[in-house]
Amino acid sequence: MRAYERLLNYVVIHTTSDEASSTVPSTKRQFDLANKLKDEMISLGIEDASVDSNCYVTGHIPASKGCESAPSIGFISHLDTSSDSSGENVHPIIHENYDGGDVELGNGLTLRAELFPHLKTLKGRTLITTDGTTLLGADDKAGIAEIMTMVEELTKNDIPHGRICIAFTPDEEIGHGAALLDLEKFGADFAYTVDGGAENEIEYENFNAAKAVFKIRGISVHPGDAKDKMVNAALIACEISSMLPSAETPAHTEGREGFFHLTDISGDVEKAEIAYIVRDHNPAFFEAREQTLLNIEKRINEKYGEGTVSLTLTEEYRNMIEKIRPHMHIVETAKRCILAQGVSPLEVPVRGGTDGARLSYRGLPCPNLGTGSYAFHGPFEHITAEGMDIATAVLCSIVKEYSKNNIRTKNASER
The residues carrying an active-site annotation are: 80, 172
C-alpha distances out from residue 210 to 219, 220, 287, 298, Å: 30, 32, 10, 19
Spatial CA neighbour of 165 closest among 250, 92, 63, 248: 63
Spatial CA neighbour of 376 closest among 149, 170, 142, 32: 142
DSSP, collapsed to helix, strand or coil, labels residue 19 as coil
C-alpha distances out from residue 27 to 235, 379, 385, Å: 37, 22, 29
C-alpha distances out from residue 258 to 13, 207, 261, 283, 400, Å: 35, 8, 10, 10, 38
CB atoms within 10 A of CB 58: 24
404 membership: H or E segment, kind and range? helix 385-405
Spatial CA neighbour of 12 closest among 90, 109, 83, 108: 90
C-alpha distances out from residue 213 to 84, 250, 276, 297, Å: 20, 18, 6, 11
Rg of the Cα trace of the chain? 23
- Distance CA(105)–CA(129), nearest Å, equals 7
Q: Are strands 259-267 and 271-280 parallel, antiparallel or unpaired?
A: antiparallel
Beta bridge partners, 210, equal 278, 315
